[in-house]
Amino acid sequence: MSLIIRSSAIHAAGCYTTAPIKKGTRVTEYTGPLITKDVADEKYENSPTTYLFGLGNGDMVIDGHSTAMFINHSCDPNCETDEVKGRVWIKAIRNIAAEEELTYDYNLYDGDDDEALCNCGAEKCRKTMYSPEEVRRRARAARAAKKKTSKKKKQ
């Protein structure tokens, strides 16, 4: 696969294909050292940028060191991730034209960033890189906290 890294309108640098890619093709593998989430949290505690990819239930992560780490998030992606036996593959979910930026939905499920703002520009952008389930969970938690605060004020 012929992939290049260059400037991206989504976020700093992005990964682009120099040749068409057919739907269903494994584009690249997300590789790097495998570390625990706790080690990653400690290692990147004060770092604004990480290239971590959670495996399975999220206890282990890949500390990205490959072309795949430059694939940006989109709410209307052209790729998806596929975890197979502890390996993460980036796979085309539609035909992708040459020179097109590769993207997948990060579907974040944890993190300290309250918003994880999305800059993908998709027509139906949800404005966050968090998964729809995580967005709902955070909204429920915020409502519960607000309700608890309101009860304390009334007392």
DSSP code per residue over 3-28: EEEEE-SSSSEEEEESS-B-TT-EEE
Q: Running DSSP on this structure, what letter comes out for residue 51?
A: -
In the structure, what pLDDT confidence band is assigned to residue 155 with cuts at 50, 70 and 90?
A: low
Same domain as 110, residue 40: no
Rounded to an integer, what distance in angstroms lies between the CA atom of residue 131 and that of residue 36? 22
Same domain as 73, residue 58: no
What is the value of pTM for the model shown?
A: 0.86
The mean pLDDT value of the chain amounts to 91
Token pair recorded at residue 15:
């990964």
Expressed as residue numbers, the domain containing 55 is 34-63
Same domain as 117, residue 103: yes
Same domain as 87, residue 118: yes
Token pair recorded at residue 153:
């004020």
> What's the whole-number mean pLDDT along residues 62-70?
94
Rounded to an integer, what distance in angstroms lies between the CA atom of residue 78 and that of residue 103? 6
Give the DSSP H/E element, type plus range, for residue 101. none
Same domain as 115, residue 98: yes
> In degrees, to the nearest 5, what angle opens at C-alpha 92 toward C-alphas 131 and 65?
70
Same domain as 55, residue 100: no
Same domain as 106, residue 46: no
Same domain as 92, residue 24: yes
Q: Running DSSP on this structure, what letter comes out for residue 120?
A: -
Same domain as 56, residue 96: no
Q: How many domains does the chain have?
A: 2
Q: Running DSSP on this structure, what letter comes out for residue 142?
A: H
Same domain as 50, residue 27: no
- Taking only the tens place, the pLDDT of each residue in 16-52 is 999 999 999 999 999 999 999 999 999 999 888 889 9
CATH code assigned at 22? 2.170.270.10
Same domain as 79, residue 7: yes
Give the pLDDT confidence score for residue 82 in this predicted structure.
Answer: 95
Same domain as 15, residue 87: yes
